[in-house]
Amino acid sequence: MQISVIVPLLNEEESLPELAQWIARVMETHAYSWEVIFVDDGSRDKSWEVVQELHRKQPAYKGIKFRRNYGKSAALNEGFAMASGDVVITMDADLQDSPDEIPELYDMIVRDGLDMVSGWKKRRHDPIGKTIPSKFFNWITARITGIKLHDFNCGLKAYRRDVVKSIEVYGEMHRYIPQIAKTAGFYKIGEKVVEHRARKFGYSKFGWERFMKGFLDLTSIMFVSKFGKKPMHLFGTLGFLSFLTGGVITVWLIIEKIIKLNAGEKYRQITDQPLFYIALVAMIVGVQLFVAGFLGELISRNSPDRNAYQIDQRLGDA
């Protein structure tokens, strides 16, 4: 199969029939072999009934229904597991993403050899209260991750099949799939300007809280990608530096007292100086960080996937 389209949805019964017809029209025009996987993330309307009716009429429309709302990341992860196409394309169900972009996205993966293509909604039909924070968020993310994209959160993306079968998306990490893919060894990440259409039905499911969650998730994913298998390298280093700083300050205070004592000068007791307590706290924090690194190392080494690595190819006997 050439293309799998994954559509996460939440209460989108009005837009689904039009979206399904639009996708089918594009696929048939270009003679692709295809499937569409609708992932119902706990909808409370008749979205699942619509998906069932679409499947009854055309088996290429497939579906997954969650018992409750788990979030977009969970929906994408289940869709990735079910997808069988050589190229996997994700898009939102609200008709703000255009299926007419599918052929060019497919070509960029197959013809240009990219691992992943992320859409860029260069011209957005959103209020300024969403566009300005989004631009700032994307600017920060691009510099922290080193991935030169303008729109990390665009729902319209295309992937080589190997990518979606090699990554796991959880929590709210769907915003950082480019970074997750890069961590898994897929560095050929491209970008395409895509059409962003005005919302025709329903309302946005995301509010201001997503920006705060986004930055927390970015911190988490950067830590896991760099130190997930070697936590002692971070906590041990910080703990050593903290303990060393406290120790140096303490030694300096003792030497200063000895010098003043030998010179017959007045001096303050070490325990009467605020600097001593700062040094003491630094040493305690250092020990705690070192212990945290040690515990993290024990957990990591006992993890069942501690030696799970992304292998591209093998030659000879396994």
pLDDT tens by residue, 230-259: 778 888 889 999 999 999 999 999 998 888
Res. 9 pLDDT band, cuts 50 70 90: very high
- Bridge partners of residue 8, in order along the sequence: 39
Residue 290 has pLDDT above 80, yes or no: yes
What is the per-residue pLDDT for 41? 93
Q: What pLDDT is recorded for position 11?
A: 92
Average pLDDT over residues 126-146: 77
> How much is the pLDDT for 308?
52
pLDDT for the residue 288: 93
Give the length of the chain: 318
Cα–Cα distance, 226 to 229 (Å, whole number): 8
Average pLDDT score over the chain? 85
From CA 152, how far away is CA 140, in angstroms rounded? 11
**pLDDT-based confidence at residue 213 (cuts at 50, 70, 90):** low
Question: What three-state secondary structure class fits 82?
Answer: helix
Residue 82 has pLDDT above 70, yes or no: yes
CB contact at 8 A, 42 and 9:
no
Phi, psi of 308 (to 5 degrees): -90, 115
Q: How confident is the model at residue 114 (pLDDT cuts 50, 70, 90)?
A: very high
Q: Confidence class of residue 303 from pLDDT cuts 50, 70 and 90? A: low
Please determine, for residue 217, whether its predicted confidence score (pLDDT) is greater than 80.
no
Least confidently predicted of 65-79, 166-180, 214-228: 214-228
Greater model confidence, 125 or 66: 66
Q: Give the pLDDT band (50/70/90) at residue 272.
A: confident
pLDDT, tens digit (0-9, with 9 covering 90-100), for 162-181: 999 999 888 778 888 998 89
- The yes-or-no verdict on residue 216 having pLDDT over 80 is no
The answer, yes or no, to whether residue 3 has pLDDT greater than 70, is yes
Residue with tokens 């319209």: 156
**Residue 198 pLDDT more than 80?**
no
Radius of gyration of the chain (CA): 26
Q: How far apart, in whole angstroms, are the C-alpha atoms of residue 81 and residue 94? A: 23
Distance CA 294, CA 238 (A): 12
Return the higher-pLDDT residue of 312 and 17.
Answer: 17
Which parts of the chain fold into alpha helices (H)?
16-29, 47-57, 72-82, 102-110, 128-145, 161-164, 177-183, 209-227, 231-263, 274-301
pLDDT score at 306: 52
Determine the Cα–Cα distance for residues 217 and 271; give it in Å rounded to an integer: 42
Q: Return the pLDDT at 199.
A: 66
Residue 151 has pLDDT above 70, yes or no: yes
pLDDT at 316 (0 to 100): 63
Looking at per-residue pLDDT, the higher value among 18 and 202 belongs to 18
- At residue 278, the pLDDT reads 93
The pLDDT value recorded for residue 260 is 84
The model's pTM: 0.72
Choose from 53-57, 94-98, 181-185, 231-235 the range with maximum mean pLDDT: 53-57
